[in-house]
Structure 1
């Protein structure tokens, strides 16, 4: 008699659930930043390629941006110096340095918010850290800034005699600016802080924009408003000349004191033109830098793995 087998089929065990939280660690966020910094040849090459492709077959190349900015800055400097009763020798350098700095700030916001969206193909197919794309954008903007610096050098060379001694930005202002000197070297660490902030701005707004596509349009919409609210074509000295002692108090001071872009602008522009500067600008900028990087690390920790799906 044949005996039937009573052996039961093997029980299939379910695979262990993958712990998706393991990728959400600050260690991996710092590793992304470190790996991006080490791949200098990649992001520097990509940044140069962006400049070359944009101005391919152009005779002047990136100098077209410099020429355009120079014409705008000098033209507005001549115009507003007459409107505000300011000496041309002081106001043209003031607006020129302001335009140079403002262009870098707003370019970091605008192009940073579109960084991962424009590089969607590379983000999906090239296994590289997100920081590479942020450094690529910052490097490209730095190259453009250096090209635009030619206008500043020309303007300073023309008005060097007037800026090399104490001067007033507006004829009726009470503040006397010290003029160019060793103090002007503070522009170097200020520009270094700009680069450090540009990286976190590109990372933070770039990641957020991949999830919420309205962010780039929102930044474009408020850019003009921010321009006129920031002392670029007008100055705090103008308010002091108009309102006297009341210019330092009251709601009108909130227009610029609560505007972080004003403080970033001031730590670079004031040394470049030999202007008077308060140290509270540096404390505010450093505070914004620390807070910005902390927010960026949190966002990078939680959402860096999702960017390739969102784009």
Structure 2
């Protein structure tokens, strides 16, 4: 079982030209014949950050030079994570034609989802760079930490996609449930408010693994070092999550064509 999924994983990674091309074409097709192209995503994200930043920054009494970079990083990184998970839940379903007609590694459809959203993340990340350029980088020393933090962030998104994609192929009501859960998670995760804003209900943040994942990639960009607890939660999630995802996918890999 484990050998089967590891073979599929290796074959999927080896087919990187296929899933990177498919992911890139999907992004281009969304904005075919548009002069601005995928940067419409950046414009939409920029407008949302500006709107939420002014309203909630005023309500929370925040200093805009600090709050806008905080908010932009939070929203851009959360959008990547939530959209990846939501789209991942329908990855096998939407690729049913390819799965039934072509003998390809199954995990390429999971890798394709993550890659497609990484392309979108790269477009939206322009906003973060601009705001950091305008308001200044808080600490150049913490910026390199962002690279391993982002890799760990992506690894966690990938195993979650593998799990929800497989379960959604079997249980067709699950994609709607996943979308609803991600919507709820947005409100209980410190994205538009700072983690210390819930002083009386700090357990909501402390026991929320998504809060630690967001903090992992946000902290280095706002001049902070992620805590040891944040690293431990993120690494623990990655190790346990990948083990579960591989075992689960390996067990039901051959049934995917019949489910979709």
Is the 2:146–2:221 Cα contact (8 Å) retained in structure 1? yes
Spell out, residue by residue over 1:205-244, the C-alpha distance to the aligned partner (whole angstroms, 9 max, x if none): 11110001111100122222211100011112334xxxxx
Within the candidate set 29, 35, 40, 1:64 is matched to 40
Measure the CA separation in 2 of the matches of 1:60 and 1:293. 38
Corresponding residue for residue 122 of structure 1: 98
Alignment of 1:1-311 (within 5 A): 25-160=1-136, 164=137, 179-239=138-198, 247=199, 252-275=201-224, 277-311=226-260
Shifted more, 268-277 versus 144-153: the winner is 268-277
Spell out, residue by residue over 1:165-222, the C-alpha distance to the aligned partner (whole angstroms, 9 max, x if none): xxxxxxxxxxxxxx32211211111111122223222221111100011111001222
Q: Number of matched residues?
A: 260
Corresponding residue for residue 167 of structure 1: none
Structure 2 residue ranges without an equivalent (≥5) = none
Spell out, residue by residue over 1:111-155, the C-alpha distance to the aligned partner (whole angstroms, 9 max, x if none): 010100011101111111111111111110110000001111111
Shifted more, 270-279 versus 54-63: the winner is 270-279
Q: CA deviation at 1:54?
A: 1.2
TM-score by length of 2: 0.96
Measure the CA separation in 2 of the matches of 1:42 and 1:259. 36
Measure the CA separation in 2 of the matches of 1:119 and 1:75. 36
Higher helix share: 2
Q: CA RMSD in A?
A: 1.3
Shifted more, 204-213 versus 273-282: the winner is 273-282
Q: CA deviation at 1:276?
A: 5.1
Structure 1 residue ranges without an equivalent (≥5) = 1-24, 165-178, 240-246
Measure the CA separation in 2 of the matches of 1:80 and 1:180. 25
Is the 2:168–2:175 Cα contact (8 Å) retained in structure 1? yes
TM-score by length of 1: 0.81
